[in-house]
């Protein structure tokens, strides 16, 4: 299903449904299409919000995890969202973490899947290689347990980005920013209930990363999905949504009174 991309001032986004807002933040080579299954599922129970992150539109000085977090903060303030269930994949998870640390008041819960912020494997030593479509296809396929999910459309999107010199410079800037911005010493400050959903076959942020997030974030729970790579919400959306449904249901259950 195609969703209307709305514009409010400088911000472009999808907003569907009613209820508490659940916001999805995509990763470095991600986009709105990453969340098709989640939008359709959660628009029935929540106000689903998916901002278009300006990964390659910010000036070079602000092309960083911090720059993206400031954008998200401005977007949330502008739209006046509150009690947000904030979910991020890969770099989007990193941005969600930084936002929660800096602006905790409006975040009700945090959902991370394949998040950077502690450790991640990049595209490799030659990252990103220009002009070699087969190289891009192989690297894109590493995102998934099932390489068939690296469709021609997806490969073409990544190839177009990596074939533009300025975009490549900005991709490298974002990747280096993510590596420098290690949150290991700050994660114990996160008080929000946190759901970690990880692919057991994630080669970019391997399972030990999910375990480390779980160890460092006090009020967190960790779920692994077998035969699944770096983007569970794309690869196994039914199982992903089932885990997330259970997490959200617990948050809506009134605390027992003694």
Per-residue confidence (pLDDT) for residue 126, from 0 to 100: 45
14 within 8 A of 5, measured Cβ to Cβ: yes
Per-residue confidence (pLDDT) for residue 54, from 0 to 100: 92
> What is the spatial distance between Cα 87 and Cα 85, in angstroms, rounded to a whole number?
7
Residue 247: partners with Cβ closer than 8 Å, 6 or more residues away: 109, 111, 193, 195, 221
* 166 burial type by CB count under 10 A (0-12 exposed, 13-18 middle, 19+ buried): exposed
> Which residues is 221 bridged to in the sheet?
195
Give the residue from 13, 36, 199, 33 showing the smallest Cα distance to 112: 199
DSSP symbol at 20:
S
Q: Angle 152-162/133-141 helices, nearest 10 degrees?
A: 120
102 within 8 A of 125, measured Cβ to Cβ: no
Per-residue confidence (pLDDT) for residue 123, from 0 to 100: 42
pLDDT digit string (tens) for the chain, length 258 residues? 678 999 999 999 999 999 999 999 998 877 788 899 999 999 999 999 999 999 888 888 889 999 999 999 999 999 999 999 999 999 999 999 999 999 999 999 999 999 999 987 754 444 455 567 887 788 788 888 888 888 888 888 888 877 888 888 888 899 889 989 999 999 999 999 999 999 999 999 999 999 999 999 999 999 999 999 999 999 999 999 999 999 999 998 664 333
> What is the spatial distance between Cα 100 and Cα 176, in angstroms, rounded to a whole number?
21
> What is the spatial distance between Cα 254 and Cα 43, in angstroms, rounded to a whole number?
23
Determine how many CB atoms are found less than 10 A away from the CB of residue 64.
19
Per-residue confidence (pLDDT) for residue 125, from 0 to 100: 42
Per-residue confidence (pLDDT) for residue 156, from 0 to 100: 83
| DSSP helix/strand/coil, 109 | strand
Domains of the chain: 6-120+182-251 (3.40.50.1820)
């Amino acid at each position: 299903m195609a969703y209307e991309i709305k514009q409010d001032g400088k911000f472009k986004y999808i907003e569907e449904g009613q209820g508490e807002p659940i916001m999805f933040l995509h990763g470095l080579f991600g986009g709105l299409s990453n969340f098709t299954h989640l939008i359709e599922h959660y628009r029935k129970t929540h106000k689903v919000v998916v901002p278009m992150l300006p990964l390659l539109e910010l000036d070079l000085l602000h092309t960083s995890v911090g720059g993206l977090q400031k954008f998200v903060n401005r977007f949330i303030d502008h739209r006046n969202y509150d009690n947000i269930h904030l979910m991020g994949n890969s770099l989007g998870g990193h941005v969600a973490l930084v936002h929660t640390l800096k602006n905790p008041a409006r975040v009700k819960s945090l959902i991370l899947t394949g998040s950077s912020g502690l450790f991640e494997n990049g595209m490799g030593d030659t990252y990103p290689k220009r002009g070699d479509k087969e190289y891009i296809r192989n690297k894109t396929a590493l995102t998934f347990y099932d390489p068939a999910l690296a469709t021609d459309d997806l490969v073409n999107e990544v190839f177009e980005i990596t074939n533009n010199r300025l975009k490549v410079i900005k991709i490298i800037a974002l990747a280096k920013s993510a590596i420098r911005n290690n949150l290991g010493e700050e994660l114990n400050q996160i008080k929000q209930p946190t759901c970690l959903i990880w692919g057991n076959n994630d080669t970019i942020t391997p399972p030990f990363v999910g375990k480390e997030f779980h160890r460092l974030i006090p009020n967190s729970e960790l779920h692994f999905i077998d035969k699944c790579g770096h983007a569970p919400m794309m690869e196994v959306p039914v199982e992903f949504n089932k885990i997330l449904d259970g997490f959200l249901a617990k948050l809506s259950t009134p605390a027992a009174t003694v």
